[in-house]
Amino acid sequence: MREDYQVFLIWAIGCFFFQSVAYAVTIPREDVVSITKQARDELSRTMRSDKSFSYPPYLGSNYIAQYYVMLHWLGGSELAAKSALNTTTLTSVLFSQQLADGSWQAVPDHNLPHGELDTTIFNYWALKAMGQDIRNGRMTAAREFIRGQGGLAKAKTMTRFWLSLFGNLDWDSISYVPLFVFQPGWIGDLVDIQDRVSQWVYPHLLPMAYLRATRLVKKMPERFLLHELVVGLYTDSNGALTPSPTSIFKKNWLNPYDKALKNANVAAVSTAELRAIVDRSFRLQGAQGSFGAYTVSSLFTWAILQDFALRDPSYAKRITPACEGVFAFIENLYFNTGPSAYMGVLDNGDYWDTILSGIALSETGIAAAALAPTASYLSSKVVPITKVKAEGGVVTGDGSVGAPAMVGIPYGSDFEYAPDVDDTAELVLFWTRLLRAGHAADVQANLNASLRWMEAMQNDNGGFGAFNKNREGWWLVKEIAAQFADSAELFDPSTVDVTAHVMEAFAANDMTVANSNLQRRAVAFLRTQQQRNGMYPGRWGIGYVYGTGSAVAGLRRAGIPSSDAAVSRAVTWLLSVQNKDGGWGETSKSYLDASLAGKGLSTPSQTAWALLGLLEVRDDPAFPQADRTRVAQAVDAGIGHLVSSFKKQGTFVDPYAVGTGHPGIIYMQYPVYAKTWTLMALARYLDRTPAL
């Protein structure tokens, strides 16, 4: 009875004070306007001469550590001398990131006190190889952390590959990948491995299968060996092996490095089997020199090409320039990416950066005419698509006459073989804004073709994946690739955030649940994804805050009223996890422990994601007035947090990772997110909150 009275009282007070569309603002409007303008101008100044934007995302300096040791494996000190990698800089960067317990996090998550085993292994490895005394305090702390986690034996599968190349682990610690799935002929066609795994797995799987089959190992100097990280071995203070106590097992583990060398390079693998993998790899070679658009897949491929040139000299003329291209590709991303240099930029995401920047600027008052060249730039980067497979990927390349029927935009350069649904949805939003302002008429045909492609990409369950259609996971491939599940997400299923963004794109072009079967199916999918407490999981951003904010915006734009349970329950959850400082935050660990969903230090990006959802319901008459009041107060507090954050930092910057590479495994820092999603939230707030 008391609860009913309180609800009525809140509703009555709300009706009295908030009958008009103008809400009481807890922070001076002029402050919001000023910060929005400052942030907008800062972003605008970074437009490049070709009208694009670039804020390279990164995954961790451990990838630079990995690169250092591999440079020596691939070409010794001679190749290392050609690299722009500066060992003094790398050493400084690594030690500056080390945590108190000796461990490292790939990208910072200030919500967590400890680092990750694999990241710490790579950083310790590189520091030792660069000459750091492993007896000093920092190296000792790192070593104790690694050994306390179980040592090298507990490393994830992908880390085991790198370790095995040096003989630090035996190849037997990694499951064999059957080569028949890569061979030409009916078996390879039946398995169709490229169209069964996620876009990002395939370029890595090819060279990793080659390496496991051939068991490649090179004898390396002692400084590259990690005996001291193998729990159970006896090493001296320098990490060198010492004779183990007399035992019946002495012969087997006196020197595992010699054992690894002995067992390596003896597998009976035919040149024809390996050639099939090499040929598949070459089909993924991009104009920038990568194999599959990623530095890690390219580095793995470099290793197998170097080996295959010795097995089949007829390939040498093709392999030599290919390896030079890989070197240039990696060097550019690792050391020529401005503030992200030495932070582990693994791929080029400039088109995504440009799309988000374009939207943010168009919403904050930059004239459409000034952004039309950016729209045209992006239009020149779309990929024509001739076919969408029922279960698999897309066939790119324009086989038609005139304008292609379908197009999609890649995430960045060298991803032309895999256009991105999420990026395309946001691009449609950007183009639509400019077209409705009477500019960028030249993109209309590509906008229509983009809508046709996204419509063709809708999965059978109504949702959308990032790159592929119905890539939910085939049982045989699950068996073949199961061992890699600890290092990457293997498939590309429908996700809440991508689906919601597609819904927004179609809604912007006047397609809602009232007239679009695509929207009705997408809404049905989102209903299946909502958790009992109202939240939605996020795939490409951390985590439930991203998913829930995206879902609310997508549902509302598609025509679902705020009073619908799917929306109102999501809003209630967002309100329940707002931090006392007015912002929102979430630790990456929420992917592994859902009880941590919505918990974490506030970040600009996660605050913006929550606000973008809440702003879609704040003014909806279908939403109960008492709830609208709570939402209005939460929105004001969130905007206040963004203003305060900018004033303190002089810019918008996320203090820890907010992007997701592979849920529960790898996270990313996208510098562009704090620069753009915040502006969208501020702009929509100002647009929908008239001055008092």
In a domain, 624, yes or no: yes
User: Whose CA is closest to 124, among 62, 217, 58?
Assistant: 62
Domain span including residue 275 = 175-217+264-346
CB 298 within 8 A of CB 292: yes
What is the tens place of the pLDDT at every residue in 615-637? Answer: 999 999 888 888 999 999 999 99
CB 232 within 8 A of CB 152: no
Same domain, 139 and 251: yes
Domain termination residue (choose one: 285, 315, 346): 346
Same domain, 567 and 525: no
Same domain, 315 and 437: no
What is the tens place of the pLDDT at every residue in 135-194? Answer: 999 999 999 999 999 999 999 999 999 999 999 999 988 888 888 888 887 777 777 778
| The pair of three-digit structure tokens given for residue 348, joined into one six-digit string | 């080029």
Same domain, 577 and 493: no
Same domain, 196 and 132: no
Same domain, 21 and 120: no
Same domain, 83 and 210: no
Residues 274, 276, 278: CA angle, nearest 5 degrees: 70
pLDDT for the residue numbered 315? 96
State how far the Cα of 593 lies from the Cα of 206, in Å rounded to an integer.
Answer: 32
In a domain, 370, yes or no: yes
Same domain, 659 and 614: yes
State how far the Cα of 355 lies from the Cα of 411, in Å rounded to an integer.
Answer: 10
Cα dihedral 192/194/198/204 (nearest 10): 130
CB 302 within 8 A of CB 326: yes
Q: HEC string of 39-92?
A: HHHHHHCCCCCCCCCCCCCECCCHHHHHHHHHHHHHHHHHHHHHCCCCHHHHHH
Cα dihedral 576/580/584/590 (nearest 10): -70
- CATH code of the domain containing 37: 1.50.10.20
User: Whose CA is closest to 462, among 516, 418, 539, 524?
Assistant: 524
State how far the Cα of 395 lies from the Cα of 388, in Å rounded to an integer.
Answer: 6
In a domain, 487, yes or no: yes
User: Whose CA is closest to 409, among 349, 473, 367?
Assistant: 349
Active site residue 422: yes
Q: What is the mean pLDDT of each run of 10 residues along the chain (692 residues)?
A: 31 31 63 98 98 98 98 93 97 98 95 95 98 97 97 94 95 86 79 81 94 94 95 75 44 48 61 95 96 97 96 94 97 97 98 98 96 98 86 59 80 96 98 95 96 96 95 75 77 95 98 98 98 97 97 98 96 98 96 96 98 96 89 97 97 94 91 98 94 72
State how far the Cα of 142 lies from the Cα of 121, in Å rounded to an integer.
Answer: 8
| The pair of three-digit structure tokens given for residue 56, joined into one six-digit string | 């390279």
In a domain, 587, yes or no: yes
Domain termination residue (choose one: 346, 380, 414): 346
Consecutive H or E run containing 633: helix 625-649
Same domain, 272 and 325: yes
Query: For residue 439, which amino acid is it?
Result: H
Phi, psi of 408 (to 5 degrees): -145, 160
In a domain, 52, yes or no: no
Domain termination residue (choose one: 291, 317, 346): 346
Consecutive H or E run containing 210: helix 202-214
CB 669 within 8 A of CB 659: yes
State how far the Cα of 359 lies from the Cα of 462, in Å rounded to an integer.
Answer: 26
State how far the Cα of 508 lies from the Cα of 311, in Å rounded to an integer.
Answer: 56
pLDDT for the residue numbered 479? 73
> Residue 19, SS3?
coil
Domain count of the chain? 4
Given 347, 422, 497, 636, the catalytic residue: 422
pLDDT for the residue numbered 490? 83
Residue 241's CB is within 10 A of a number of other CB atoms, namely: 20
In a domain, 77, yes or no: yes
Same domain, 118 and 247: yes
pLDDT for the residue numbered 402? 55
In a domain, 157, yes or no: no
How distant is the alpha carbon of residue 281 from its chain centre? Answer: 23
In a domain, 272, yes or no: yes
Same domain, 330 and 410: no
Same domain, 392 and 298: no
Consecutive H or E run containing 666: strand 666-668
